[in-house]
Structure 1
Amino acid sequence: MRLVAYIRVSTEKQLDGYGLDVQEKAVRAWARQAGHRLGRPIYRDEGRSGTLESAERPGLAAALTEVEDGRAQGILVPALDRFARTLVVQEAILAQIWKHGGRAFTADTGEIHRDDPDDPMRTAMRQMMGVFSQLERSMINARLRNGRREKAAQGGYAYGAPPYGWQAHKKELTPEGMEQAGRARARQLRDEDELSYREIAAVLDAEGLRPKRGERWHPETVRRMLANTTDQPPTLRRRAA
C-alpha cells in the first residue's frame, strides 16, 4: 500500500526530544516492517500546534490532498497526537481521511480503524486517547506559563519565541534587520499593490526574504505577520498596557 507520512513538532515537543528526525525514523521503520511504501516527500509542519485545523498546517493539508486525489491510500503518523492535540480536531482530520476512502495509521499502534456501530468501544478508546492528549497539552502549557512568570519576575524575556521581526537579546526584544525588511515589504505589497496573502508569499520567497521558521512562506503565515501592525516589541506593548 502506498502511504504518505506526516510528522509535526510544536514548541512543546521541541523541548522534550521528540523531534522531526526521531519521528521520521519511526514512520520509516514501521512502513518497512509493515510492508508499505512511503511516498515522497515526508510531509512536515515545524512549530505548528496540534490544536490547529488541517487548513492551517500546510504539511498536513498537502498530505490530505494526496489521499483526496487518490495518489495515496492512507496517511501514516508517528503517533495519534501528531494529527491533533484536541479531540475535536483529531476527529475532524480522521473523518476527512475516511471520507475520501483513505486509511490512517500510527507507527506506535498500527491502523486507526473507522467507527463500527457494532463495536462502540473502538470509538470510545480512540476518543479517550484524544482526551488524554488534550489534557497532556494543557498540563505542558500550565508548566510553561509558570516558568515564564518566574523568568519575567527575574527580569528576563519570557513570552516564548519572538515574533517575526524581533529577536531576544540581553533580556529584551530588539529588531531583526532582515525580518523587519520582510515585514515592510509585505506591508507594501498588501497596502500599495493590493496583493493577496498567497501572492505576497510568492513574492517574499522570490526575493529571498525567509520566514522565521521553514523555507517558504504560506498565506496564513503572511496573514498573521501582517496582523501585527505595531512597530513596538511585544514586551513594550505589555508594559504600556
Structure 2
Amino acid sequence: MGLVALNPLPASDARVAIAYIRTSSAEQGKAYGPDAQRAAIRAFATREALTVAAEFHEDISGTVAAEERPGLQDALASAYQHGAASIVVAERSRLAREEYVAYGALRLLRSAGLRVLYADGSNGDDEGALLLDGIGHVIAAHERRRIVARLKAGRDAKAERHGAKARAQGGKLPHGYRRTRNGLVEIDPDAAAEVRRIFELVRSGSTIRATAETMTAETGRLWARNVVDRIVRREVYKQTEPARIIDARVWNATQAALASRRRRAA
C-alpha cells in the first residue's frame, strides 16, 4: 500500500500573491493609510495579472524585525497555504523603515522562496534592480530619520516655550503619565511601574513579543507587541520634562540591547 500525502501544500504559482499592508500610528498621513496601500496593490495586481489570494494588515513600527511581526508571519504562512510566489507591498517603506530590518525581512521571505514585489513598479531580478532595491531601502530609512527629527524638534521647541504645560495642552499622554486637576502632567505610579517593568524585561534580553506576553500574564490585560515596542523607544521616559520615569543609563542600555538583537536577527 502506497503512502498518501495528508493536506499537501499547493505548488508555488507565480500568478498568485499575498498582500501585506503595514501602518504605524507614528505615520498618520493618508499616503501611508491602509486604503491607499490597498488601492495601490490592487492596481498593481491588475496590471501584472496577479491574483491576490489573501491580505494582511498590521499596525506596527517599520523598525520592528520581521520575526517579531505577527502580520508578516501570517502572510508568510498564507503564502505556503495558497501556493503564492510573492508578497506584495505598496512601496519599500511599507516593508521596513530601517535598512537592516528591510534586509532581514528580504532574507526571511527569499529563503522561503518568495519574491517581494513593490506596487510602485520598481521590481526586477538583475544586478541593477537589486542595487536600486538596496538604495531604495536606504532612502526609506533616511526619510524616517528626517520625520523623527522634525517631530522631535517641534516638541522640543514647544517645550522650550511652555515647559511642562506644553505636554498638558492636549493629546494622549504616554503610558506612565497622568494629568493633574490643573492640567499639568505628573507620573502615574502604577502605570510608571509597568513602564519600568517593560524596560527591565527588554534590557535583560526578552524580545518584544515575549515582553508583551509577560506583561499580559502579569497584569491580566492584553499588551500588543507594537505598544510595547513604542514604549521602549519613547525618549520622554528619560527626560526631566514632564517627569523622568526611566534612568537615562537604563534607557540607553535598553536601546543597545534592541539594536544588538536585531543585528543578530538580520
TM-score (norm 2): 0.61
Q: Which amino acid aligns with 1:105?
A: L
Distance change (3 Å), C-alpha of 1:68 and 1:151 = farther
Check conservation: 1:197, 1:223, Cα contact below 8 A.
no
Between the aligned partners of 2:146 and 2:214, the Cα distance in structure 1 is: 37
Q: Does residue 146 of the first structure (1) align with residue 153 of the second (2)?
A: yes
Q: Number of residues paired by the alignment?
A: 213
Between the aligned partners of 2:217 and 2:53, the Cα distance in structure 1 is: 29
Shift of 1:149: 0.3
Q: Which amino acid aligns with 2:88?
A: L
The one-character-per-residue Cα deviations of 1:152-204 (angstroms, maximum 9, x if unpaired) are 1223129x9644465678452675xxx96xx6xx99xx9xxxxx767657769
The one-character-per-residue Cα deviations of 1:9-58 (angstroms, maximum 9, x if unpaired) are 22442146521222122222322333222233x21221x22122112222
Shift of 1:108: 1.0
Q: Does residue 3 of the first structure (1) align with residue 17 of the second (2)?
A: yes
Shift of 1:129: 1.0
Aligned to 1:53: 65
Between the aligned partners of 2:141 and 2:228, the Cα distance in structure 1 is: 28
Between the aligned partners of 2:117 and 2:144, the Cα distance in structure 1 is: 22
Distance change (3 Å), C-alpha of 1:6 and 1:168 = farther
2:119 to 101, 107, 111: 107
Distance change (3 Å), C-alpha of 1:126 and 1:224 = closer
Distance change (3 Å), C-alpha of 1:144 and 1:197 = closer
TM-score (norm 1): 0.67
Q: Which amino acid aligns with 1:79?
A: E
Between the aligned partners of 1:238 and 1:202, the Cα distance in structure 2 is: 21
Q: Which structure has more RCO (C-alpha within 8 Å, separation ≥ 6)?
A: 2
Q: Does residue 43 of the first structure (1) align with residue 43 of the second (2)?
A: no
Check conservation: 2:40, 2:90, Cα contact below 8 A.
yes
Q: Does residue 21 of the first structure (1) align with residue 48 of the second (2)?
A: no
Q: Which amino acid aligns with 2:124?
A: H
Between the aligned partners of 2:176 and 2:245, the Cα distance in structure 1 is: 17
1:137 to 134, 137, 144: 144
Q: Which structure 1 residue ranges, 5 or more long, are not aligned?
A: 191-195, 212-216
Aligned to 1:214: none
Q: Which amino acid aligns with 2:242?
A: T
Between the aligned partners of 1:199 and 1:89, the Cα distance in structure 2 is: 22
Check conservation: 2:216, 2:222, Cα contact below 8 A.
no
Aligned to 2:6: none
- Name the SS of the counterpart of 1:236 in structure 2: coil
Distance change (3 Å), C-alpha of 1:67 and 1:96 = farther
Aligned to 2:90: 78
Give the percent of matched residue pairs that are identical in Structure 1 and Structure 2. 28
Largest Rg, 1 or 2: 2
